[in-house]
Amino acid sequence: MVQTISVARLPQEQPKVWHALETAQAIACLETDLDQGLSSAEVEQRLADFGVNELTGKKSKPWWLKFLLQFNQPLLIILLCAGLVKAVTGSFVNAGVIWGVTTTNAMIGFIQESKAEGAIAALAQAITTETTVIRDGQKLRIPSRNLVPGDVVLLASGDKVPADLRLVQARNLQIDESALTGESVAVEKNTQSLTAETPLAERKNMAYAGGFVTFGQAIGVVVATGNETETGRISQLMEQHTNLSTPLTRKFDKFSQSWLRVVLGLASLTFVVGLSYRNLQDALEAAVALTVSAIPEGLPAVVTVTLAIGVSRMAQRHAIIRKLPAVETLGSATVICSDKTGTLTENQMTVQAIYAGGHQYTVTGIGYEPQGEILQDDKPVNLNSDKGLQECLFAGLLCNDSHMENKNGKWVVVGDPTEGALIISANKAGFSQSNLARQMPRLDAIPFESDYQYMATLHETSRGKSIYVKGSAEAILKRCTLMLNTDGQPRPIDCVETLRQTTIEREVNIMARQGLRVLALAKKSVSNEQMTVDHPDIETGLIFLGLQGMIDPPRASAIKAVQACQEAGIQVKMITGDHAVTAQAIARRMGIHKNGSVLAFTGAELAKMDRQELAQVAEEGVVFARVAPEQKLRLVEALQSKGEIVAMTGDGVNDAPALKQADIGIAMGGAGTEVAKEASDMLLTNDNFASIEAAVEEGRAVYKNLLKAMCFILPVNGGESMTVLLSTLLARDLPILSLQILWLNVINSITMTVPLAFEPKPQNVMKQPPRSPNEPLLSGSRIKRILAISLFNWIVIFGVFEYIRQTTGNVDLARTMAINSLIAGRIFYLLSISQLIPNLIAKMDGTIQENVDIPAIGLGIVGAIALQIVFAHVPLINHVFETAPLTLQQWLFCLAVGSPMIVWAAIANKIDPPN
């Protein structure tokens, strides 16, 4: 009977060394038996010791606590206190309106963040399945959650790997681990021990939870379950590195804190001065009025609407935003870290180079569409006279276990992508796999095995029986004694020994340096009596037919997008699980570089670096290959430590921690795992890097529109604050009351500011360098603009109020006309900072062809006028807000007072250009 193993010897205590142990050592350490497996009693004991094979995450906050936390903002807290003061003094209507505004802002934030973080739950689903085990000497089918360290697991093609396993037996085993390692093709597995330093992506004797068996069979012993698996370690990384803030939220926090100090100081001054000549209630009204006037209550709503419009525009360009602040964040990105597969490339293997008959050929066309041709010296090849090339293509079609299918008008490979590439290269020459299979039926085959590095098939031909072989160049060339020339005639290789030693190997090296995956093809004629094929049949005597070099080619749109990003001052870096040579070749083809150089580093090299070295390498490097999940995370952190705003793309489980840590995580909407999607801020519906560039462009436009909105809203707060403060210091009646201020700051501001969110993007938005991450929301020139417009607003409010009060003696009328004069000035100011008039002029003279969004600005102005008519003429509003009806002459007076804003705004635009 198997004895209970001690905690110290469990895999959780040494999670990185199982691949370095011999098979027998691993079995002995786990105290299990390959034939009998664990006993039921031992399983119960280990379940009690180590728990079920599930991922566990941090408990989420209850919804009510998340809602209450929305009020944990300095400006909202001040408004709540102001409402409390009004309630204590008996002004319940004022208090209710103030509290309503703060609650509305909190609800906006709550809805924005209400989608619960589901990354851990998605990770749990990634390893939830059923699996076959040996227990008590019997094969059993059990839920994977019941697995324990030491269980003997049987794997077959189509299975999901249920836990981390040390493989002890493997036959033709291939596992797709792309979700964990980023490796774009299935990994061939074996049982040989490795060095302890072997990186995760190269541990061929291990199978990791969440992987898929694409081919072959195996037996493995469970070495880690639940949170101790590599997938579980990723979930812990995600919990430890939660970054919910963005550059925009950080800037708003800093702005709020600075504004808070100003508001508290001015409100205290107003209250103290007011007490010197007013009663307590009037002094409190003045202090509350100043507080309410100084806080831009409508700004959070306007920001949310502006970001939401940006979301809509990005969705039209295949980018779905999951978290609103990510809209602006993407616009401020200084570095984009992208995986190779799918995002930058077609995710379809394509033959691009052929060497046959002693000649080089290029193959046009991209992906699995059978469109393109084979060229020699840029001229189409005559296949009737080029028998060597023809035989090379035939071999790729016949020695092939895959086929192509047309699904919804799109060609897809059913089987191995590399075999699909061979089929398409022959299709481009006019050859059909099905037709050739009928003419030369298969009789037997040797499936691909990693130990031999080749596949072979036996066929019936019109000239007898032939064996076709494909595999690695090293495996095929050493078995060849002849090669075909262009006429299809074999030549003894021993007569041209230097050819085999130099030319063919040189061609292999040339293709490899281009990042191409090279397959060699050969054939051998056998007797008509032979009905089977085995390894001894192809040990010698093969005729070399040629080489086919293939790659997952870059997307043409992605190449343009990379160039646009780099011209915009955004660094593009490739972080991938693929080999360094392949990744570096793709980077060169894409035009990804830094100062003309394409520096590449591997995960093994990164593992040896300290934090300072890694930060330097992260800045200088362009390609990072064969990286582990925690290394992706470290690279993102290293770039952020250098002050970079990092956008990170990914589609696998291994990308999730880095996606979560990045300033903006971008997941693939099509090929991406649920884990990556849940950890991301944005999804690409077409999995194309070009959509990132489009989203960056929209993000930059959104930020510019946000700044316009702030520069439009804050001068009103400034003018109101100056009015309340100076009126208090001069012992005058308040020209504007706290409730009227709320009308201006919420109802009117939202109506007139939202149209700015529809402003079209400037023509040169992608020709400008990224903003400095440390640039404040309010730069020096913007503050000057705000102060200048605030001064004008104060003059209008104070001047009109005093004039009308002294000439009519009606305080309510004076306040109503002062407010409407301010609105008239705001209309002129809105037109001055909008692109409406300049774009209309440019449209008329043919400078630009874009449609100008007239209705947004126009509707905003019409809406503002309509609201002010309600404000002045509806009796209920008159009673609540203490306003009075106006005559037509008084309306015209307000318009005339506000019109000088045209000149005033022109001066402000010189100080701080609006675009």
Q: Which residues are catalytic?
A: 339
What is the token pair recorded at 465? 């029986």
| Helix extents (H) in 503-608 | 505-513, 556-567, 580-590, 603-607
CB-based contact 726:271 (threshold 8 Å): no
Question: Taking the mean position of all CA atoms in its chain, how far away is CA 290?
Answer: 43
Report the candidate in 590, 594, 601, 591 with the shortest Cα–Cα distance to residue 569: 594
Written as one letter, the residue type at 326 is A
DSSP state of 595: T
Please, which residues have CB within 8 angstroms of residue 234's CB and are 6 or more apart in sequence? Answer: 123, 629, 653, 654, 656, 657
Phi, psi torsion values for 155, nearest 5 degrees: -115, 145
Query: Strand pairing of 454-461 and 464-471?
Result: antiparallel
The CA distance from 640 to 636, in Å, is 6
Q: Which helix (H) or strand (E) holds 445?
A: strand 442-449
CB-based contact 179:652 (threshold 8 Å): yes
Task: Report the alpha-carbon angle 552-557-563, nearest 5.
Answer: 105
Q: Which helix (H) or strand (E) holds 261?
A: helix 247-275
The CA distance from 254 to 295, in Å, is 15
**The tokens 């309600």 sit on which residue?**
870
Q: Which residues of 452-478 are buried (b: 16+ CB within 10 A; e: fewer)?
A: bebbbbbbeeeeebbbbbbbebebbbe
What is the token pair recorded at 739? 């409730």
Q: What is the largest CA-CA distance in the chain?
A: 120
Query: How many C-beta atoms surround the C-beta of residue 612 within 10 A?
Result: 10
CB-based contact 297:79 (threshold 8 Å): yes
What is the token pair recorded at 153? 């697991």
Report the candidate in 265, 521, 206 with the shortest Cα–Cα distance to residue 394: 521
Q: What is the CA radius of gyration of the chain?
A: 35
Q: Which helix (H) or strand (E) holds 321?
A: strand 319-321
Written as one letter, the residue type at 103 is T
Query: How many C-beta atoms surround the C-beta of residue 27 within 10 A?
Result: 18
Torsion of the alpha carbons at 774, 780, 782 and 787, rounded to the nearest 10 = 140
The CA distance from 744 to 741, in Å, is 5
Angstrom CA distances, 571 to 258, 341, 561, 901, stand at 33, 19, 12, 42
CB-based contact 573:624 (threshold 8 Å): yes
Sign of the four-CA dihedral 682, 686, 688, 690: negative
CB-based contact 216:171 (threshold 8 Å): yes
The SS3 assignment for 857 reads helix
DSSP state of 160: B
Q: Which helix (H) or strand (E) holds 351?
A: strand 350-356
Angstrom CA distances, 520 to 61, 174, 595, stand at 58, 21, 37
